[in-house]
Chain A
Amino acid sequence: MSGISLQDISKRYSGSVLAVDDIDLEIESGEFVTLVGPSGCGKTTTLRTIAGFEKPTAGTVHIGGKDVTDAPPYERNTGMVFQDFALFPHLTVHENVAYGMEADGGYTDEEIDARVAEMLELVELPGTGDRKPDQLSGGQQQRIALARALAPKPDALLLDEPLASLDKKLREQMQVELRRIQQEVGITTVFVTHNQEEALTMSDRLAVMNEGKFEQVGPPGDVYNEPETRFVADFIGTANIFDGDVTQTEDGYVSVDCGDVEVESTATRETAVGDDVSVVARPERFNFQSSTDDDRDENVFTGEVTFRRHLGSSVEYRIETAEGREVVVVRPSGLDEHEPGEQVTVSVDADNCRVVST
């Protein structure tokens, strides 16, 4: 098994679009890394550069320590799962899964048959070898595409939005399944998605991409709880974001004037008075306040509940302040219920807020 290393990769298409802008990424052997970001941010281009379908304008690609920047796709030994699966329609499932080993030429027929059977077992579709792809359901095609990619024992598994065309239920099931298989095989994996939930649930690490650059790379918990940029905070999960400029810094705390409110936050980054920054507070960090325990004056918002929805284990509220700002609050279910139309006061600890770059 082997890792992947991208160094200073840029890709400019023959027009003028700089699709990937000088990115670096070290992926360890066996690691599951997700590239996540909005559509058009350069995820596919990055993945295709690893697979060898695109030649980077600058930078190098190493797979398993070997420089493959100039190697054609068929000499890279990666296994790719395409968004529309791309199962060869004129070949049976068996022939599809065997294709890579046959192209390799180093396997006997018995080895190929055994490996195909093993792969079909792995994806829990034994006995489907004689079918044609169009005789399979979407979820089954997905598994076969995975089996086909894994059969020739690639150094890395590359997946480009493989679950996007599945319905929600199947998608969630496949997320678990995919992760199980990946861990069972122990293969280095690069997964591409624009779905942040998917990225959070599946990955060892995720790389949040925006306009061809990495905004932040790290484990899901870190990225969610400690976003470094406004974009990451906004894109990953739900966030209350307060844009303003720094009025005061003192003892590891920062005060930010947002026009309608003054917000206090832990100083999670170096700032000076006058800097434009954003303060981020996740909705579940907020508390409701009864008018009696009016013990605090920082980060307090009073307003009307405009919207409420139950999320199962929690309840989401949207509260509109007199100044017209909307605050999203998520509370454990059954703890403190408030009705739409009710006047409430919520607050969040400065320790639960973060200062990020705008």
Chain B
Amino acid sequence: MATETSTSDGGESGRAGLKQNAKYYILSYPLAWLVFVFLAPLGMLFMFSFWVHVPGTGYTAGFTLDNYARFFTSSLYVQQLWVTVELALVTAVVSLLLGYPLAYYLARIDRPWLRNVLLITIISSLWITYVIRAYAWQVILASRGILSSLGVATGILGSHQSFYPGYWGLVVGMVYVFLPFMVLSLYSSIRNLDGELLEASKNLGAGPVRTFRRVTLPLTKNGIASGTALVFILALGAYVLPRLLGTPNQRTLPVLIEQQIMSESNYPFGAAMSVLLIVVMLVFLWALIRITNVSAANIGGAEGVTGEDETSTTSGPGALSGLWSRLGGVVAATGLSRVYGSVASAVSDRVEAVDSDTRESVIGTSFRVYVAAVMLFIAAPLGIIVAVSFTPEEFLTFPPGGFSTRWYVEFFTDPAWVRSLVNSLTIAAAAALLSTSIGGILAFTLDRFDYKFGSLIGTFGVLPILVPPVIIAVAFLVFFLQIGLTGTRTGIIVAHGIFYAPLPFILITQGLSELNRTYEEAAMNLGASPVRTIRTITYPLLRANVVSGALFAFILSLNEYIIAWLLSLFLVKTIPIQIFNQLRYSYPPTIAAASTVFILLTVVVMTAINRLSGGIWE
């Protein structure tokens, strides 16, 4: 394409009209943030894990392996490591089994409005803080909670009973929280599937079950693999759910890390466990890639179909999705698809006897019921929070015995809640600006100029969001301890700003790659200087991407708990922190009101993003 020319000539031919050195000046801004404020804390975390804990006063610099030795010589810690991994695996597998039919339904329905409603519901719940969502399950699972009340009312339960804290209560909560990620991964992969292929298969006489097993399932392996890997990694780093829904037996690594930092003030040991968590993740990823390479041959052509689309973005996100799609064969290896296959063939054997019309309608109906149930599982908990927020009573009861807005009045008049709300909004707004400046400028420079290590820097740009938040939190904590930023809003803003920079980076990179360069040439041909061109043409054409990126960062920062909590050192309170703290002591319905306000805020912002981008979910 003729319009690509001057990128390769660099500044010389004057597309952007910038002098040769300018490209390094501009790159230095995002790079400085990423190196000095992202890599440096991680490096320091590593260093800290070898420092010496001094009970009472804190720590001193030095070199010791005691922190690691302590972990591995204690059977308790090693066992908790296994619990962490097991929980993440169970969450991933259950999410896959629940999520696939829903994703399939979403991808195949021919009523756009219904699809939009369902997608918005799934996606909105995705951003709402884990704290509120764990709280929702407490309300459902508690003794005298919804499940228990229903059980007693219908006579299934003899007396009230609590379903949490405990292993299965925790799994339910984890699946609830991570299922949307799975559904969205699968959805995009099933959407990419060529409808004609399915038609062709049906034409050749394959029944729905056979078509699914022989055509759909193999062709969506990529989505299955990336969804599973994504959920596994997210679950591995989860702190809030195990903390709020699990018993001390389910203290996962992130919970233990937080405990060392906030209760024991043992920073070196907390750092060592953080390093171990990273190692576990890397080992897992490495294993996946190894397995993938082995089985890549078996997958053959099917891989390319879905892989192509994902890797078409530029270096950064491309590297990421490249990684994801390389995980493609993992599922075959772990046998997940075989599980599905055998279930499907069992079903198909069972119904073989019946005539085909009845068979289709039986399958169709049970499929729809199943999808509706999963959808209910995703949507109901937040609905329940909204419902109970209007209770007139002092304590949460179910069903609520009336209607009242007293807890909203309470929320908006209590100085502690209002202060948290102001904190939350201020931090989120500032973090969004910082993220957008880092991610946006990085996207722009990588798109417009050639650098020796361009694709490496691009990968670097998406790295922060891949690190589990609890590790970001500890890394920034030890970093800020050195420069005196702990316990301040600025500290949280900086940490969030870096952590969420990949979102604007990815969105703006995508916008730039879709931007028709001829518009910029036309502007310069009409006499506009490079700066004027960017201001009057480039930016306006990219605005939807820039604003969406900023809003994503805003909403994530708003809902973030663990980083804010560790960096606050008890001094700064945001809404998630405030809710979490209250959950430890009592359950005033103000929490439900606060949650409802927060959910509403999130939904409004998400809808705005969707409007702006003209249906980004598609």
Contact = CB atoms under 8 A, between A and B. Distances in A.
B539 to A, nearest CB: 10
A72 B526 contact: no
B526 to A, nearest CB: 4
Interface string A132-164: 000000000000000011001000000000000
B537 interface: yes
A51 B9 contact: no
Contacts of B334: none
Interface string A44-88: 110010011111000000000000000011111111101010101
Contact of B532 (A14, A48, A77, A103): A103
Most buried by A among B6, B14, B15: B14
Nearest to B5: A54
Contacts of A149: 525-526
Contacts, number: 85
Contacts of B540: 90
A148 B525 CA distance: 11
B526 A100 contact: yes
A104 B524 CA distance: 11
A81 to B, nearest CB: 9
Interface string A264-306: 0000000000000000000000000000000000000000000
A13 interface: yes
Contacts of B521: 51, 53, 73, 80, 82, 86
A145 B541 CA distance: 19
Contacts of A100: 526-527
Contact of B529 (A74, A148, A152): A74
B518 interface: yes
A89 interface: yes
Contacts of A86: 516, 518-519, 521-522
A75 B6 CA distance: 17
Contacts of A13: 5, 8
Given A72-B14, A80-B522, A99-B523, A14 B8 contact: yes
B17 interface: yes
B146 interface: no
A84 B537 CA distance: 17
B511 to A, nearest CB: 13
B81 to A, nearest CB: 52
Contacts of A84: 516, 518
A80 B2 CA distance: 15
A52 B522 CA distance: 12
Most buried by A among B17, B519, B524: B524
B23 to A, nearest CB: 16
Nearest to A151: B526
A123 B463 CA distance: 53
Contact of B525 (A45, A55, A73): A73
B523 A103 contact: yes
Given A14-B9, A44-B2, A148 B526 contact: yes
A84 B5 CA distance: 18
Contacts of B528: 74, 99, 103
Given A88-B519, A90-B541, A74 B9 contact: no
B515 to A, nearest CB: 11
B13 interface: yes
B286 to A, nearest CB: 37
B354 to A, nearest CB: 54
A14 to B, nearest CB: 5
A72 B537 CA distance: 18
Interface residues of A, number: 32
Contact of B14 (A44, A73, A82, A103): A73
B10 to A, nearest CB: 10
Nearest to B13: A55
Interface string B323-340: 000000000000000000
B12 interface: yes
Nearest to A100: B526
Interface residues of B, number: 28
Contacts of A77: 527
Nearest to A55: B13
Nearest to A49: B13
Given A14-B8, A53-B13, A55-B13, A78 B525 contact: yes
A75 B526 CA distance: 9
A88 B527 contact: no
A73 B516 CA distance: 18
A52 to B, nearest CB: 7
Nearest to B541: A90
A45 B5 CA distance: 10
A13 B17 CA distance: 19
B518 A104 contact: no
Nearest to A15: B8
A51 B540 CA distance: 25
Nearest to B3: A53
Nearest to B520: A86
A240 B530 CA distance: 52
Given A88-B537, A90-B541, A54 B524 contact: no
A54 B13 contact: yes
Given A53-B15, A54-B13, A55-B9, A99 B519 contact: no
A188 to B, nearest CB: 15
B541 A72 contact: no
A111 to B, nearest CB: 15
Contact of A88 (B15, B522, B529, B532): B522
Contact of A53 (B6, B529, B536, B537): B6
Nearest to A77: B527
Contacts of A76: 525
Contacts of A51: 521, 525
Contacts of B527: 74-75, 77, 100, 103-104, 152
Contacts of A89: 519, 541
B36 to A, nearest CB: 34
B529 to A, nearest CB: 6
A76 B527 CA distance: 8
Most buried by B among A74, A86, A100: A74
A103 B2 CA distance: 25
Interface string B422-457: 000000000000000000000000000000000000
Contacts of B530: 74
Interface in B1-49: 2, 5-6, 8-9, 12-15, 17
B19 to A, nearest CB: 11
A73 B524 contact: yes
A317 to B, nearest CB: 41
B14 A52 contact: yes
Given A48-B2, A55-B12, A99-B528, A74 B17 contact: yes
Given A53-B15, A86-B516, A74 B5 contact: no
B215 to A, nearest CB: 39
Contacts of A104: 527
A195 to B, nearest CB: 18
Contacts of A99: 523, 526, 528, 536
9 contacts: A53-B6, A73-B14, A74-B527, A77-B527, A79-B526, A99-B523, A99-B528, A103-B523, A152-B526
Q: List 8 tightest A-B contacts by C-beta distance, closest first.
A: A100-B526, A72-B14, A103-B528, A86-B522, A86-B518, A103-B527, A73-B524, A80-B525
